[in-house]
Chain A
Amino acid sequence: MSGPANPPEPPAAGRGGNLGPLRLHVPEPHYRPGDAVDFRHIVVPPAGAQPRPDETCPPAETFALCNDLIRVLDEAGRAVGPWNPQLDPATLRRMLRMMALTRAFDERMYRGQRQGKTSFYMKSAGEEATAVAPAMALDFEDMVFPSYRQQGILITRGYPLVDMINQIYSNRADRLKGRQLPIMYSARSHNFFTISGNLATQLPQAVGWAMASASRGDTRIAATWVGEGSTSEGDFHSAMTFAAVYNVPVVFNVVNNQWAISSFSGFAGAERATFAARAIGYGIAGLRVDGNDPLAVYAAERWAADRARSNMGPTLIEHFTYRAEGHSTSDDPGAYRSAQERSEWPLGDPIARLRDHLIALGEWSDDQQAAMDQELAEAVRAATKEAEKNGILGHGLHHPFKTMFEDVFEELPWHLQEQAEQAIRERRIKWPEWKE
């Protein structure tokens, strides 16, 4: 086949002047295993220096705050500035207790996985404030749509530890009947939406729930959580768009813990803009918060919740924090990041910071802290023992076989009925002694 009758002139040599060849930018984290860490590139503004606009302000007025970092607790452990939520000591102690309980629970469950009592666990070490403080700032009736790292919400809302452990062990008392991977809790009684393994799907769902609430003239709002890595999912975009279009009473919590398994936040776009700044493009209010400052997190969540409740629409809060441990029990962070990152992290530890604040107020002491830590460890241990009576994974105490086929549909259709009978037949062959 011949070419066109009048072929275009071939490009002249050196076309594009002195420009070199194009180059693809593939982000690279600052530090890899073995590197010394220097976090001076992270700008940490002084606590108390960030203005607090009125909750009813236009979204654009929050733009400066999207590139700032709202902080309340200063280096001396004092609560300062306009974002200080002025919580009473009893509330502060409760917040400290819930964060410490979350950490104690994580420690115990992590060990349980290592001991073979369950298949999987995910800690939230270093991020306790981003779940506990919002749970305290929201109303109990507000529906939360969490990701997998907000166990602090369930704990703060008073969900029984034994039930959490039963789920982790997939035992015969597991309320989810052993169907779900450990930590994928569901607790309608505590207005805690069923956790999905599929990332970011909860964002448009939270928006839809809040749309329903608003369309009914209800007063409840929705709050949802997502990691910074998952903001790359399409559902983040659709959720933000719908939230803006219908002025939906929802709070988006983006927990920027710097890491999505082995990928640093640069692979979610952090090199170009803060995650809070994404809100502005949608016409949504945005706040960027020191995620290891429980009082700043509380104040921001309260601001956003009040805004939503007064029909001023959605808010996106970026919680700037650090995932102190591995992604999960299946992950070894030593393979992709410097071990020094955790110790050098400039925003410190949320529990230590609130503890120091209470001590500075004269409302707490190291002795009280030590006693509380011991008490909480004991409480978790007792709950674990209690749950183990219902069985641990793989030791045979689980829900009856037929429950595997229930709840796929409201009623059992013929094909699932047949398959359930097959499972029972197989059980009789494999375990002739089995009694159910």
Chain B
Amino acid sequence: MTLEEAPVSLHDAPGRRLTMIEAINEALDIMLARDPDVVILGEDVGYFGGVFRATAGLQKKYGKMRVFDTPISEGGIIGVAVGMGAYGLRPVPEIQFADYIYPGLDQLVSEAARLRYRSAAEFIAPMTVRSPFGGGIFGGQTHSQSPEAMFTHVAGLKTVVPSTPHDAKGLLIAAIEDNDPVIFFEPKRIYNGPFDGYYDRPVKPWAEHPDSVVPEGYYATPLGKARVVREGDAVTVLAYGTMVHVAGAVCAEKGVDAELIDLRTLVPLDLDTVQKSVEKTGKCLIVHEATRTSGFGAELSALVQERCFWHLEAPIERVTGFDTPYPHSLEWAYFPGPVRIGEALDRLLGH
């Protein structure tokens, strides 16, 4: 069942309420059961079940040949996964934090992304690199980064960021089944509950969010298709991951009739959905947590400008993290939260 086929209101859908971590664990469980070629490898993913519990119980259920711990070597993890893919397996390597993916970058950029192209499809890298990303958890410089733009710039990689338990499961299943290498970034701030950017308010659990209703069993949420979270006429808001919830909360609080789009897949991008929306609203706000300069927002802004120029009634706005390393003590001054988003909305709607 794809999202499109799912009941419109997930409140009424059959299924259990899961956290994002539980949904990811379930996706991995289902794919390990469905496809004997699927293997999971990474630091602490085996016996211990992962530092975020994403792989809990899987080694016990499927054995050490399918789910195993690795040495602390991101280049090695990605490199052996490329080799496993060349053999015919479908590896799902985990990089413990996206901040630590850089030692594996040569293997991702030079190898996984280009294997199909340079061998004229003799060899492929059907792997899904899972990695927790994003901030808002006092992770400081090396447990908070959002390096998606480093991957969206690479020809041959797909980049996916879920924002709900429902999508996390469906998109992860689709990513694992995809024959192209997929970077699957999991916003760890919302592993256990949605986050609206108000760090000083009580945290809500996923159980209170409609998209925590996750159908049982197998379903795939197609890559390359955005989700219109909320329809509206005043402004198009483009976001992904944690920022879908933050931007949504700001629009709701301000009473803005925004059309909120969760991109879900950054490459390949669902440009049709974006274009249709901006042509309707005439205004576009782009929100991401990553640093601004050369961030994915720049690509989105350029595309919207190229495709929707004659429909635009105001300059495209980008709300992002600042161009600094992610700070520890000043996290909430850095995080693109409700104030920064609200200001941008005021500018856009004042035009």
Contacts and interface: CB of A to CB of B under 8 A. Distances in A.
Interface of A: 143, 145, 175-177, 179-180, 184, 186-188, 193-194, 196-198, 201, 203-213, 215-216, 222, 234-235, 237-239, 241-242, 245, 407-410, 413-415
Nearest to A186: B119
B123 A213 contact: no
Contacts of A210: 83
A64 to B, nearest CB: 28
Contact of B123 (A193, A197, A211): A193
A245 B69 CA distance: 11
Contact of B118 (A145, A180, A410): A180
A176 B83 contact: no
B75 interface: yes
B200 interface: no
Nearest to A201: B111
B80 A204 contact: yes
A238 B123 contact: no
Contact of A238 (B73, B155, B158): B73
B8 interface: no
B111 A414 contact: no
Nearest to B87: A212
Given A196-B111, A205-B80, A241-B76, A212 B89 contact: yes
22 contacts: A175-B120, A177-B120, A179-B117, A188-B122, A188-B123, A194-B118, A194-B119, A194-B122, A194-B123, A201-B107, A205-B79, A208-B81, A208-B83, A212-B88, A234-B103, A237-B73, A238-B71, A238-B79, A242-B80, A408-B155, A409-B268, A410-B180
Interface of B: 39, 65, 70-71, 73, 75-76, 78-89, 91, 103, 106-107, 110-111, 114-124, 155-156, 158, 178-180, 224, 267-269, 271
Max chain A Cβ within 10 angstroms of own Cβ: one of B83, B107, B158: B83
A215 B224 CA distance: 33
Given A186-B119, A208-B85, A211-B84, 17 more contacts: A188-B119, A193-B86, A193-B123, A203-B79, A204-B79, A205-B86, A206-B83, A208-B80, A208-B83, A211-B80, A212-B87, A212-B88, A213-B87, A215-B39, A235-B106, A239-B79, A410-B124
A409 B156 contact: yes
A238 B80 CA distance: 9
Contacts of A241: 71, 73, 76
Contacts of A188: 119, 122-123
Given A205-B86, A212-B83, A407 B121 contact: yes
B188 to A, nearest CB: 25
